[in-house]
Every structure is written in structure tokens, then in C-alpha cells.
Structure 1
């Protein structure tokens, strides 16, 4: 299918779920704007995606810095490009007890997981509301559904993303613009490494992690259907159902047991 001049803007597109989503849009004939921190990684991905016969724009931006979110859109305006689809995939976690973790890394995480997402979405909406069309996919997580000892700030950021996504979806319901939240569970990406989570008990279950391709496929379909949210994977649907039945303190206890260091288990 050829979408001619339609662009999908994807943050965190050089690896993991973001990369798989970018590839999925490329296969569908969408032109891509791919965003990441590493110039070389983006160039390599662009060369790969161009084999689908599409145009690929690379923007090296550090979305830990909210100014880069504004400049990203300024760059697109200069090129007269208004993406039809926005995928807010870039995000990071941090493992450890809150009393011990590095506050600057947590503030960076809040900027990346929340502030830059708000900025990009606000600018996308300003662009798309006059067109009465557009689709937004926000990466939440099953972490959004329960308190997360050992990942308290990450779980908090994802709870924010889910609540906010559902709120603006309602606000936008008569505009032709849809908002979809994607809730993966543990996925076999570099997330755990970047979050310093390799000593977490959860890593003992690595063979049951989802693949990024599976999560991307679920997200892509839900976005195209205009669904409000999708929990990716049967096992994760059961996890969320269980945490919905439990009190918050019981959900936090269970999460603590799952996530504490293996040597403390």
C-alpha cells in the first residue's frame, strides 16, 4: 500500500519496539521520520527502511532535554512536513530503591517519559486539528497499572501516560484524531540493560518475555483500528487482570517480590 506523502514520526526508532514499529509502517508504505540520540544508528536504520521504497528523515535528538522536543518540530516545520501519525516510543527505566537511586537520572527519565511526550503531542495536535485527521500511539506499559517497588518512578511515569492518554482521547473524540495506548509487559529489548536491571529477579523469566515484533504488531493494529488501548500478550492481560482485582498495597507487594534483586529473593 502506498501512502504517498503520509509520514509517521517515531521516537526511539533505532532499537526495540520503536524500531519494529518503524519497520511495520515502512512495510505499509508510510514515509518515516525516525528520532533517536545516535546519528550512526539512525543512518543505518534509514538505509534499511529505504529498501521499502519510502522516504526516511532522520532527526538525532536527545529527548531527555525538552528543548530537543521543541526543536524537532521546528525542523519539521522548516521542511513543511506534518506527520499523520505520532508514535511516542522513547522511554527509559531505572532500577533500585528510590532512597538509593540517582535523582538526576530520575528527572531525566521524567523529562523523557513525560515532558517530551507532552510537548511532541501538543505540537502534533496543533498541526493536525485543522486537518481533522491523525493518529497517536503512546507507549504506556503494564507498569502503568500497578505501583512498582524497585522501579517506582518508571511505574509512575507510565501511570501518568496511560491516564493522560485516556483523557485526551475523550477530548479529541469528535476531531478525527485518535489516541491509543500500548501496554507491553516485559519485552526482550535493551530496556533492562539501560535500566540497570540485570540483577532483578524478573530477569530469571527472560524466556517468557515478549518479542519486540509481537508488541509492535499489537500496537500497530490497535492504532490503525483507533482502539483506546491494547495490553500486548495474553500473559500480560492476566497480570493486569490480577492487579486490577488486588488492592494497591497487595499489587505493590507482588511487584516487590517480582522485581527485588535475585540475591534477596
Structure 2
């Protein structure tokens, strides 16, 4: 395993205003990368840009964008092209979840979740992938979840969106294997971020919550392996539970998940 330097590269990080996104920005900037910080809350992005730019001497560019709007990924690529900013690493971190019976959830919220968790990831990745693969110095990282490894009653749409993210990223890792680009899906369990504030309940938290720094550190270490795996599950306990879910009969895994999530 080698410690990578991102000196001379630029990392685009979505959902960068807090939590995992902010930690990705700090750890990539610490290793020399300029960062483009994307989220809806410009005030938070500007504060983070000032922090990492001042601490690590990199260029940090805040960009306010609502990635749940169809076409936002292509629009962001056009904006950065116009500014002369070339992206070498894309970290698809933006996303949210909700808790409750599918038939009782707001249809507009369901649509927004699918567009942000799935549509924006696909749009951004398609917009930037040719540039990433041609350069080959950076990485494509998507934040999936342990929810991707089995159906998740009471979080049905969220789990399904993360299963999409995991499958897409692993396929792209194979498709780009000759380019030198490191492609990785990282699947954490619960993380101490604003995620559960948005969800609105801690019933969705299964297991002990990890610190954002630990999840980002696990991501970085996976990227630094001589052969980067297409996906990694952050945390030993999460790896064991996801492995058990894959080996168990489907009906049993569904029942366990439903009980754990208090469906």
C-alpha cells in the first residue's frame, strides 16, 4: 500500500457542506488536491472553502447547486469547463434517506430522493468519466451504503438507490480497468452526520455510528491498495453483517432487515 499524493489534481465533492462530504474535502486537500465543493448551502461551502484553503494552501471553490434537479450534473460540468477547472477525482457523496412505509411517503420526496441518489450520480459520472479516465491520476468514488446489500423495509427507496450506486460503480470499475483510474464504491453503515436528522428518526440507525473521518480514511486506504477493489464496506462489523445478508436466504435477510429498521 502506498500513500497517494493528489498534488496538482482537482477533486469535485458533492454533498460537501457537512458530514462525509466535508471530511472528504479535508482529507483530499490535506494531500494536496484542489477541491470543488458542491451542495445547496453556499454559506457552509464558503466557510469550508476558507478553512481548507487556508489550512492546506489549496484552491477551494464553492459551487451552490441543487443536484436533485434533472440536468444539474451536465450543467455543473459546463460551469466548471467555462471556469477552466479540470476535474481529476469525482466523489459522489450527496444523498439522503427517509424512514417509513413506502405507501405513506410523500411522492415528491420519493422522486427527489431517486433523482439525487440515482439520477445525479449517473449524470455526474457520465459527464466527468471521459475526463477522469483519460487523465487517470485521480479516482471515481461513490458513497453507497450497507443498505445496498439487502432490501430495506421502511427505507425501501433509499436501499434500492444505494443498490443501484453499488452496482453501477462496480461495473464502471471493470469498464475502466485499463485506464489507471481508481474506481471505488464505499459502503458505510450509520455515520455521525446530519443524515438521521433528515431521516427524522434514529430508528433507521442499525449498529454503532462511525465518525466521518474513519469512513473517509477507509476509502482512502482502499484507493491506495496496489489493486483498488471495486467496492469496500467500511467497518468490520458492517462487513460481517453485509456478508451474512448475502449468504442468508433472501426471505431471512428481508425479515432481519425489517426488524432492525422497525418496519
Instruction: Count the aligned residue pairs.
Output: 257
Distance between the aligned counterparts of 2:126 and 2:77, measured in 1?
A: 10
- CA deviations on 1:138-168 (whole Å, 9 max, x unpaired) are 1111100010000000000001111111111
Distance between the aligned counterparts of 2:81 and 2:237, measured in 1?
A: 42
Where does residue 154 of structure 1 map in the other structure? 158
1:220 to partner: Cα distance? 1.7
- Normalising by structure 1, what TM-score? 0.92
Once superposed, what is the RMSD of the aligned Cα atoms?
Answer: 1.7
Are the counterparts in 2 of residues 142 and 183 from structure 1 also a CA contact under 8 Å?
A: yes
Distance between the aligned counterparts of 2:189 and 2:116, measured in 1?
A: 19
1:133 to partner: Cα distance? 4.3
Are the counterparts in 2 of residues 182 and 231 from structure 1 also a CA contact under 8 Å?
A: yes
Where does residue 261 of structure 2 map in the other structure? 259
Where does residue 6 of structure 1 map in the other structure? 9
Are the counterparts in 1 of residues 15 and 93 from structure 2 also a CA contact under 8 Å?
A: yes
Where does residue 88 of structure 1 map in the other structure? 92
1:237 to partner: Cα distance? 0.9
Are the counterparts in 2 of residues 3 and 29 from structure 1 also a CA contact under 8 Å?
A: yes
Task: Name which of 120, 124, 131 aligns with 2:128.
Answer: 124
Where does residue 111 of structure 1 map in the other structure? 115
1:123 to partner: Cα distance? 1.2
Are the counterparts in 1 of residues 170 and 230 from structure 2 also a CA contact under 8 Å?
A: yes
Where does residue 145 of structure 1 map in the other structure? 149
Where does residue 243 of structure 1 map in the other structure? 245
Q: Secondary structure at the match of 1:175?
A: coil
User: Which deviates more from structure 2 when the two are superposed, residues 94-103 or residues 224-233?
Assistant: 224-233
Distance between the aligned counterparts of 1:241 and 1:46, measured in 2?
A: 38
Distance between the aligned counterparts of 1:103 and 1:212, measured in 2?
A: 30
Distance between the aligned counterparts of 2:5 and 2:106, measured in 1?
A: 47
Distance between the aligned counterparts of 2:171 and 2:10, measured in 1?
A: 25
Distance between the aligned counterparts of 1:122 and 1:201, measured in 2?
A: 31
Distance between the aligned counterparts of 1:130 and 1:79, measured in 2?
A: 20
Where does residue 168 of structure 2 map in the other structure? 164
Closer/same/farther in 2, CA of residues 136 and 217 from structure 1, 3 Å limit? same
Where does residue 219 of structure 2 map in the other structure? 219
Q: Secondary structure at the match of 1:35?
A: strand
Matches within 5 A, 1:165-204: 165-198=169-202, 200=203, 202=205
Q: Secondary structure at the match of 1:221?
A: helix
Is 1:29 paired with 2:32?
yes
Q: Secondary structure at the match of 1:137?
A: strand
1:103 to partner: Cα distance? 1.2
- CA deviations on 1:9-48 (whole Å, 9 max, x unpaired) are 1001111111111110011011000101101010111111
Task: Name which of 9, 22, 25 aligns with 1:19.
Answer: 22
Are the counterparts in 2 of residues 142 and 231 from structure 1 also a CA contact under 8 Å?
A: yes
Is 1:48 paired with 2:51?
yes
Distance between the aligned counterparts of 1:16 and 1:64, measured in 2?
A: 18
Are the counterparts in 1 of residues 95 and 117 from structure 2 also a CA contact under 8 Å?
A: yes
Distance between the aligned counterparts of 2:255 and 2:79, measured in 1?
A: 46
- CA deviations on 1:55-84 (whole Å, 9 max, x unpaired) are 001110111112222211111101222111
Distance between the aligned counterparts of 2:157 and 2:112, measured in 1?
A: 11
Closer/same/farther in 2, CA of residues 201 and 41 from structure 1, 3 Å limit? closer
